[in-house]
Amino acid sequence: MPHQRIEEIQTSFDAVFTFIDSQPNSMISGLLSTGDKPFTCEARFANDGRRFIHLPHSNRIYKNDWGFYFNSMGESGQRIGQYSVPINNRYIESIEI
């Protein structure tokens, strides 16, 4: 799947990952996907030390995938945009307070 950027996401992966990691249990709950499905995300580290945001269905957002509709996992990538937008919005809300 080609990497198509989500225009409304202008934040950096580093800032969003740090925000999630600073939450209790390195987790944000109470999020709703763009399809109105509840989900939780977590800041985690892969075995090789890379940071990623863990999503439902074992989907992951690595630094190079942040801000795109699909990640680079597997043959065609996993759809992650429906999670990225609400995570981004929660981060934006946190810095506006």
State how far the Cα of 51 lies from the Cα of 47, in Å rounded to an integer.
10
Q: What is the mean pLDDT of residues 39-50?
A: 98
The one-letter amino acid code at 60 reads R
Contact 46, 52 (CB under 8 A): yes
Predicted confidence band at 76 (pLDDT cuts at 50, 70, 90)? confident
Please tell me which residue, 51 or 76, carries the higher pLDDT value. 51
All structural domains of the chain with their residue ranges: 13-96
Helix (H) or strand (E) holding 6, with range, is none
**Given this model, what pLDDT does residue 2 score?**
56
Give 13's DSSP letter.
H
CA–CA–CA angle 18, 72, 79 (5° rounding): 85
pTM as predicted: 0.92
| Residue 4 pLDDT > 90 | no
